[in-house]
Amino acid sequence: MVGYHYTHELQHQPPSSCVNPDFGVELLNRTAERLLPVVEKLRIHQKYIEQPFKFVEPEE
């Protein structure tokens, strides 16, 4: 997580002064924006895999 340095899974240290949580949120938002087109293409591919001939034949 941004802002925390875990030493053990059951405890953590408080955030250090040099870490900016807002910058971490900005990076997460940028990453999500870049992944969105990839996820959309994967969704289309998944639909094709489920029903490949539906994409070839016109719907009635």
Instruction: Determine what percent of the chain is predicted with pLDDT higher than 70.
Output: 65
Domain boundaries, the chain: 20-51
Whether 50 shows a pLDDT value over 60: the answer reads yes
Average pLDDT, the chain: 78
What are the phi and psi torsion angles at 6 (to 5°)? -80, 135
Q: What average pLDDT does this structure show over 29-41?
A: 95
Count each helix (H run) and each strand (E run) in the chain, helices first.
1, 2
2-32 in b/e form (b: 16+ CB < 10 A) is: eeeeeeeeeeeeeeeeeeeeeeeeeeeeeee
pLDDT tens digit sequence for 1-27: 455 555 665 666 666 778 788 898 999
Give dist(CA 51, CA 60) in Å, integer.
15
